[in-house]
Structures are given as C-alpha cells and as structure tokens.
Structure 1
Amino acid sequence: MRILIVEDEKLAADRLASLLKRIECTAEIVATTPSVRKTVALLNLKPQLDLIFMDIQLADGISFEVFDQVPVEVPVIFTTAYDSYAIRAFKVNSIDYLLKPIDEDELQAALEKFRKIRSHAAPPQLGALEQTLQLLNGGKSYKTRFVVKVGEHLHTIPVEEAACFYSYEKATFLQTTAGKRYAIDYTMEQVESLVDPECYFRVNRGYLVKLKAVKDIVAWSNSRLKLELHHPTPAGEVVVSREKVNDFKAWLDR
C-alpha cells in the first residue's frame, strides 16, 4: 500500500507514519509533503499511490486548494483538528476523516473502509460521511466554491478567497481578498444561506462581509457603524444597519 502523507507538522506526520506501519504491514510511505505547493508538484509527477492522508491546514494554505490545481484520483483520508474547513469542504474524493490526535482504532477502521472500497473497485461513497459532517454542523453544509465566468472561460473561486459579496446594478458580485470582482448567479439572500455565518455577516441588504475584508470600523450616524474595506467596491459605503449593530458586535466578539 503506497501512501502519501500531506502534513506540515513533522511530529504529527511521524506519528501517523508509525501508526500506519504498525497497523498495515504493507504500508509504504512514498513521501511526506508539508504544503499545497509541494503536494501539487509531487502529484503532477503522477506517482503511483494507493491512498493519501491529508491534513486540512497546511503551511501555505488549506489542502482543498490542491484539488483546484491538479487532478487527485487517489482516495483521500483527511486528518483535521475539527475546524470549520472540514465541515464545509468535504466535496472531494475522500473516504473518511480522522480527528487529531489520531486514534489508532479509528485509523484502523479507516484503513478497513479503504480496503473494502478498493476490493469492490467502486468509487468512494460519501453519503454517510457528508451526513455525519452536516450533523456536526447543525445539519447545514456550506458552499466551498463559486463558479465565475471570465470572458469565455469558467473559473472556480474558493469561498475562503471571498472577502465580501455585494449587490450592484441589479447583480450580485463576489470580491476576493485580492480585490478582484466577479458577477455570480445568486441573489444576496441565496449567498447568505450558502456561506458559513461564522465567517460572513450580512451587514445590510447589499453587503455580506468577511471580517478579514474589514480595514476599519467607525461609529456612524443614527447609532450605525461604517466599515472601511481593504478593497472598496463600486457599490459605495458599507454601513451596518442600526437593527443589525448589536448582532454585528456579538459576531465580532466570538
């Protein structure tokens, strides 16, 4: 069993490798990569692999970025510290996830699931896993990427790169953390229901913002708040409506 470990913490990678060799005598650790960039570079070489263990948060980003840059045809078992990314982004060819610190019995059960899938030569069945993740997240699964049109081409924008969403001239736009803007085929109400409320707040009818997009917060007239974004939008001022100020402050203080 040829295995790739994607993990940026050496102690965690070494412990996982040790557990794998103890449980599975045929396990061969082909490589350990600590970053998105190095994982993509390795996978582009098309190494012979049977299974990938992949941490969610890596040295230079989140591991889901790997799937946007290179085809991953090998089954994946995610390892995670149980943060929101694991719940929001299980839309790739994963067969299981393991909560850190990894338990030996759970690792053995995950390997058994992999063996059953491989013996039946069938693609991974994600239904039960997705249901479990939805239950962990209060029954809600959030969107992981948006498809945008650039000229004649379609691109995907990971939700993590979206700084804010706004309404302008009867259209809805996604603005990235780099300040790029794209029209998307959703209403603001739809977007609000699709993204994680832990990460995005609907400050008024026209704006849904991420905290990292906010450069400054200023007290405004009529007990409102004015937000200054790192990258302003054509839609004008971003003002937290008076009825949402208390909720917005509570959201900031989480």
Structure 2
Amino acid sequence: MTTVLIIEDEVKTARQLARLIEDDGDFTVSAIMPSVKEACEWLLQHTPGLIFSDIQLADGLSFEIFRRVPVKAPVIFCTAYDQYAINAFETNGIDYLLKPIEIEKLQKSLQKFRDMKSLFIPEADYAERMGNTLAKIGGSHKTSLLIHHRERIIPLKLEDVHYVHAEAGIVTLHVQGGMRYHVSYTLEEMEGMMNPQLFFKVNRQFIINRKAMDGAEHYFSRRLLVSMNVKTPCDIIVSKARVQAFLVWMES
C-alpha cells in the first residue's frame, strides 16, 4: 500500500481527491496539508510514497516546499494553471493534472507512478520481494495457527478460514461454523502465512478463501464484485489494480 500526502488548501477539493485516490485500492492518504509551512513541517517527520500537490497555496507556491525540504517521493501536481508545467518537472514531478481533475486522467497518473516504481526497486525492497517469492515457491505457508481465544489456545486449520477481514486496525478470521477470532497479525502478515493457491488478498480489507467464493461479476470502474457463499460484513470489491492477478488466481 502506497502512502500519499495531499498538499491542497481547498478543503472540498482535497477530500474529493483523497476519495478518488483511495478508490484505486493501492493507495492510502496519510495526510492533507493546506500550506507550504505545514507541508514542510509534516515532511520533516514523515516520508510518503507519493505526493499530490496543488501549486498555488495560501502562503506561496508549493515549489518552495521542495526547496526547503529534501523530498524523495515523486509528485503529481494538480493545478488550474498550465504555466507551471516546466517548473513542476524541474522538481520531483512525474505528472501534471489540470483542474477539474478527470477520473480517467487521475487513473493514468496513478498507473504511471506504478509503472515507474516497478523500474526502480530499492535494494532492500528487492531482497524482501525475492525472499517472499522464494518462500512461496518453497511452500513455506502455514497450515495451522494458534489462536488465543479467551482462556483457551486453539489450533486452527487455515483452510477452515472463509475470509480474513481488517477494519479499524483489527484483523479478524471468519471460520467455519460462524466463529470469529481476532489476531494480532496485520492483513499483510496473514497473506504471507496463507497458501496463495487457496487464498487471495483482494483489497486492503479482505483475504478470501476460494472455497468460500461462488464467483465474481463486473463492477463500477473496472473493478469486480466477489460473490461469497458465506455472509460478509460488506461487499467484497476487487481493486482495479488487482483484477488481472485475481482472474489468474481464479483460473489456476
């Protein structure tokens, strides 16, 4: 999941942009900063994966931020003016969107970021990805997990898990018989433990078991709606970025 910083002084515009970005499924907005000053202070303490920035802010041009603070994250500039394009690409700019922002162009910008990111994998990330790949090839997934439930310790077969659901930082395993167990693992950690032939992480909230799935149908904005044979707390939507991998998984 890529963390995003939005630099925008119009509250309504910032919220709409945040919603559109998070609808993609691969991105989460960490903060919205309305000024040069506040953006600088935030960036001195945090490192986002991607920045969306307006140019004309209440206390100056956003280019000043990148002169004051060493920023490694790529920037997608969003503005109502086209005269700053050259300046934008002299900083960390990878794209330049004119307001009002069109959904299709935003999606192309996000895909452009993904394409560029895949070409420049930090050495540490590369080692981690290679390790994960080798682990999957070696079949190192778990077949069972010890669950601490009230005063009991229960050995749970992972194949009995219908789906894993994450909400408000709490990860819950939904298993046969309607039982639910909270675990201390993150959704990403659970994904690494589970057999990838049986389980698939469809978005940032759900990992599903193919045995609990009936199928899928086309959904708004080129996503997929998963049909389950068990009750779920909300609709399970395959994020657009994961649709192709999901279809390959279904077929395998």
**Which bin holds the TM-score, normalised by the shorter protein?**
0.3 to 0.5
Give the TM-score of the pair, scaled to structure 2: 0.46
